[in-house]
Amino acid sequence: MKSAPAIRWTSEVRGEPARSEAVAAAAAATESTAETTRAGSLAGLGASASPGSATVGRGAKPAFVPADPGVSTARGDFGFRSLNDVDNSSDPQTGKIVSRWLGRFVLESGVVLPDLVAAYRHDGVPIGDGRQILVVHALTGSADAAGDWWAPLIGPGQVLDTDKYGIICMNLLGSRYGTSGPISRNAVTGKPYGRAFPLVTVRDQARAHWRLLDALGIGKLALAVGGSLGGMVALEVALERPGEISRVVPMAAPARIGQLAVGWDRIQLDIVDKLGMEGLDLARQLAITTYRSEIDFEQRFAGRVEADGTPSIVSYLRYQGRKLLERFDEDTYRTLVRAMDTHDIGRDRGGASAALQRLAAYGTRLTGVGIEGDILYGTNQVQDLVEAANSAGMDAAYREIHSTKGHDAFLVEWGQLSTLLAEALK
């Protein structure tokens, strides 16, 4: 095993999270109850503290236990298998997804992850030589924004121009593509955490981003941008250190998760809890119906039937369910959906207005991007965020993507995305 490098503990020095009693109560709940509904607070979310983690009070220092953070029991393990695979060089490898060991990490609940590992990709202008931009992926995405899901926007001459900016994207805490999550090995049991992986919040995911940025020497960001869950995390990245980010651009992301989305998420989690991987297939099918729009489905599938008589829309949804099973697992899906349901920028901050006033005080600007026909996080929710930001004294603007593609327009409408990102970078 490689020797552990000297790590800048800037994130912890600047404060481990104040232990949230709501989150701590949620993390202490037993998984077997399966009654983990979020209704405006974290009190109902459930996640058990795993045998390989510890719950500590602020300032407590448990012994460090090394761990192998990436052995998967699920098919298609896209993570890594050993700390030997973790790159701790001082400079990121441009254009490659690498993983970095970041040490002990305290979650909002007070549970300690003895080994935080983060997978990321950095492209473009080297760190220290120019402005850096953070791109945050959505629910089942990866750190490969530049090579995969946002490739048309990132590169030489593109709107996120790698000749002008450094672009970094990190796999979310709790995911399965190289960052610590349910497929990671529990240091005590020697087995993957699985369902025992502790409750993670959107705020935890934002703090994990700053831990990586600290380790890489990125102290300031010109822009933080993301869609859906990625937009929620981008907001929290800004709120975690309001003086160190120029503009935040949440796309299809509200100040607080809407109750319709909570309901859809609960149905998906119930299906997964009852049916395992088969349930993940069905949950994905349900989720896809919220990621598109009525117009899109009508235009693509109205009157179409497969050779066996199956309506084409049904065949399409089944395909999407099967496709997720090839690259994801039920425990990771459960972890990330529950994290998304914790989203509320006003929690423990005196409300959304008080939270946004913190950004206003440091001159952080905000562009909220709504999507026409988005039934998951509608334009009214994004407009409410922008109005609250302006009322709090921020320089905030609302922009809208006009599309028939629904919520997922932030992954396909390249022309409009280029225009609004160019504006944000002025």
Both tokens of 117, joined, read: 């590992």
Query: In the annotation, is 144 catalytic?
Result: no
Exposed / middle / buried, residue 49 (Cβ in 10 Å: 0-12, 13-18, 19+): buried
Catalytic residue among 228, 246, 293, 403: 228
Please name which of 189, 138, 200, 133 lies closest in space to residue 165, comparing C-alpha atoms.
133
Exposed / middle / buried, residue 259 (Cβ in 10 Å: 0-12, 13-18, 19+): exposed
Q: Which residue has the tokens 């990671």?
A: 184
What's the rounded Cα separation, in Å, for the pair 72 and 69? 9
What's the rounded Cα separation, in Å, for the pair 391 and 356? 9
What's the rounded Cα separation, in Å, for the pair 225 and 66? 33
Catalytic residue among 214, 281, 341, 374: 374
What's the rounded Cα separation, in Å, for the pair 300 and 308? 18
Query: In the annotation, is 391 catalytic?
Result: no
Exposed / middle / buried, residue 56 (Cβ in 10 Å: 0-12, 13-18, 19+): middle
Query: In the annotation, is 77 catalytic?
Result: no
Q: What does the DSSP assignment read for 327-396?
A: T--HHHHHHHHHHHTT-BTTTTTTSHHHHHHHHHHTT-EEEEEEETT-SSS-HHHHHHHHHHHHHTT-EE
Q: Which residues are identified as catalytic? A: 228, 374, 407
